[in-house]
Amino acid sequence: MTARILAFTAVLVVAFAAAALAGRAIEPHGDETATRTDEKSDHVNPTATDTAHGAPVADPVRGLGVADDELRVVVEQPELRRGVTETLRFRIVDAGGETVRDFDVEHEKRMHLILARRDLTGFQHLHPTQGPDGAWSARVKLDAAGSYRLFADFSRDETARTLAADLRVDGAADLRPLPAPRATAVSDGGYDVRLGAVDSELRFTVTRDGAPVRTEPYLGAGGHLVALREGDMAFLHVHPTGDGPSFAVDFPTPGRYRLFLQFKHEGRVQTVAFTREER
């Protein structure tokens, strides 16, 4: 009996030893697989790449801050006088405070300057000039008092960026509520414009005295659209589609947005604004 017990015990010892060796052989492979998986997931950023093609996806929201990826906008004099034409100067500087001088040409210009009051009125789209010192300047006249947002919209190293800063115009501000959404509006030159939407594409139809108007190329497209979100004044990424004034817009959140369409006809640029509500 004693011999049988000793033999059975020896068999168990051998079995446990074999299991321990097998476990040691398997564990390193399992850890290595987990590490590779973790490393791969750490390098995947679904918000920055197209999951289908691996191509960069443009951020639909820009212009929420003065700085972005070591670039910053600096306004020399943010205090402006009401109703007075003044020179507005600003710079784009790098992380070391040096003035950036090299920009890509985007929509036929190297810099687009957008101004709008906090209640989304007083919209202006200007194209400043760059001086020998690298600073940008534009002649500006703001007729209403209040706080304004300056957007420096540009591309550098083939990357589109929009940096923003605040401006102040002296006097008591008479802020206006955002107009209710409507399908039609009249431009500052008397053109009738209708807004239609198909999925994420906004399509504008322009008429004058009841007759259809074919818009002329403006900034390399059938029109130019700026979309700003009510509240934080986020600057949305918009790009034209086709030859006419139609645009693909990604509205990132529910809320109300102000759309500023500019188009050219008979050599003159027209501006018209719409309110759009996303639910």
pLDDT tens digit at each of 279 positions of the chain = 434 433 434 433 334 343 333 333 333 333 333 333 333 333 233 333 333 334 344 577 899 999 998 999 999 999 999 999 999 999 999 999 999 999 999 999 999 999 999 999 999 999 999 999 999 999 999 999 999 999 999 999 999 999 999 999 999 999 999 999 999 999 999 999 999 998 889 999 999 999 999 999 999 999 999 999 999 999 998 989 988 899 999 999 999 999 999 999 999 999 999 999 999
Task: Kindly state the tokens that stand for 205.
Answer: 């139809």
Name the pTM for this structure: 0.79
Name the nearest CA neighbour of 63 among 167, 151, 166: 151
Q: Of all helices (H) and strands (E), which one includes residue 114?
A: strand 112-117
- Measure the CA–CA gap between 127 and 269, rounded to whole angstroms: 13
**Count of residues for the chain?**
279
For domain 184-278, give its CATH number from 2.40.170, 1.10.8, 3.40.50, 2.60.40. Answer: 2.60.40
Cα 198 to Cα 241: distance, rounded to the nearest angstrom: 12
Give the CATH number of domain 61-169; options: 2.30.29.30, 2.60.40.10, 1.10.760.10, 3.30.1490.120.
2.60.40.10
